[in-house]
Amino acid sequence: MLFKQQALLRQKLFVLGSLAIGSLLYLVARVGSLDRLQPLCPIDGRFGLRDQDEIPLRALQFKRGLLHEFRKGNATKEQIQLQNLVQQLPKAIIIGVRKGGTRALLEMLNLHPSVVKASQEIHFFDNDENYAKGTEWYRKKMPFSYPHQITIEKSPAYFITEEVPERIYKMNSSIKLLIIVREPTTRAISDYTQVLEGKERKNKTYYKFEKLAIDPNTCEVNTKYKAVRTSIYTKHLERWLKYFPIEQFHIVDGDRLITEPLPELQLVEKFLNLPPRISQYNLYFNATRGFYCLRFNIVFNKCLAGSKGRIHPEVDTSVITKLRKFFHPFNQKFYQITGRTFNWP
Ligand code: A3P
């Protein structure tokens, strides 16, 4: 009997020991694979990145942690100077389009070790009051970063605001401009859904999309409706082209960013002259959310807030057809100007 109990105990200890060793080996393998997934390689010099600026991944992760503390304001001036941290004006701006996937794009680009995002929409160029505060005010709104990193800001209102192209041009005529677009009718409905949700939150009633998008007098598309106007991408882009050559823009396919984000992000890395560092490891599909979420490392994952990826209300098919027909010629012009063609109906 005693012998049987001892044997059972030995068996249990053996199983527990194997489990512990197995977990340890798994962890070692995972940490190792992290380094392999984002190998070190020289960084291209367009943004002033030099070989000696290279930081090994673990150091980068450590520094990212420190950056987090600085952003939270838990750092003294001395610490900031010691770490060589600076607040830099953006080298690239996501100028729009509202509901195109601007937040997802910014957050995904922020996975890149050479990118630092301005978390909030700054609204410097589209808001007269902010703009009057000057470029130094704008710079001070930027997060702390290392000199070799690039800062990216997103304020989707920039794309449609009259004064913005000239103002950005005056600050930096060689800035890189990112525009993320979706199929125009879907984008307009997404825009409407956001406003509708705001009204519902305040217990207010709101019109149906159909009523806003179609002029009841003419039965034609209501071009005075902002959600419709914003989706006429070519009209807005033409204003920007008075200041910036088309080479300074990169168009991101917002519909593809939802279903297949990596290739879209790789195109952006190329446009920004960044070495390819964002990998499939950094993006995983979350079936509950129905969207890709972000994986920074073995412990830190995040999905976008619930306000991203709302369920759209059903819209009358004849209205959708009318809108698609309306947008068609503008889309053709947009493809022609940008050199990027989409399968929009
Ligand atoms: P919907 O709410 O219409 O689905 P923006 O950030 O410019 O406001 O865009 C919001 C849109 O980003 C959402 O529109 C959603 O479809 C899209 N999106 C793209 N990738 C996403 C992701 N990984 N998680 C959540 N939303 C994402």
Distance CA 154, CA 68 (A): 19
For ligand 1, whether the C-beta of 258 sits within 6 Å is yes
CA dihedral 51, 53, 56, 60 (to 10 degrees): -150
Active-site residues: which are they? 99
Instruction: Please give the helix or strand (H or E) that residue 286 lies within, else none.
Output: strand 283-286
What are φ and ψ of residue 341, in 5° steps? -105, 140
For ligand 1, whether the C-beta of 105 sits within 6 Å is no
Q: Is 103 annotated as a binding residue?
A: yes
Q: Give pTM, 2 decimals.
A: 0.82
Distance 92 CA to ligand 1 centre (A): 20
Q: Which of 257, 308, 311 to mutate to test the pocket of ligand 1 (most atoms within 8 A of CB)?
A: 308
Surface-to-core class of residue 32, CB atoms within 10 Å of its CB (0-12 exposed, 13-18 middle, 19+ buried): exposed
Surface-to-core class of residue 140, CB atoms within 10 Å of its CB (0-12 exposed, 13-18 middle, 19+ buried): exposed
pLDDT at 83: 76
For ligand 1, whether the C-beta of 38 sits within 6 Å is no
pLDDT at 335: 98
pLDDT at 206: 94
Q: Are 262 and 283 in contact (CB under 8 A)?
A: yes
pLDDT at 39: 30
pLDDT at 93: 98
Residue of 267, 279, 278, 275 whose CA lies nearest to 340: 267
Distance CA 67, CA 54 (A): 17
Q: Is 101 annotated as a binding residue?
A: yes
Distance 308 CA to ligand 1 centre (A): 5
pLDDT at 319: 98
pLDDT at 256: 98
Question: Judging by DSSP bridges, how do beta strands 301-302 and 291-295 pair with one another?
Answer: antiparallel
pLDDT at 41: 25
Which tokens in the block code for residue 145? 């970063």
Using the Cα atoms of residue 125, residue 127, residue 133 and residue 137 in order, give the sign of their dihedral: negative
Whose Cα sits closest to atom 17 in ligand 1? Answer: 101
Domains of the chain, start order: 75-183+231-310 (3.40.50.300)
Q: Is 290 annotated as a binding residue?
A: no
pLDDT at 344: 98
pLDDT at 339: 97
Q: Which of 93, 103, 152, 186 to mutate to test the pocket of ligand 1 (most atoms within 8 A of CB)?
A: 103
pLDDT at 53: 31
* Ranges in the chain, pLDDT < 70: 1-82
Distance CA 106, CA 145 (A): 16
CA dihedral 118, 123, 126, 128 (to 10 degrees): -130
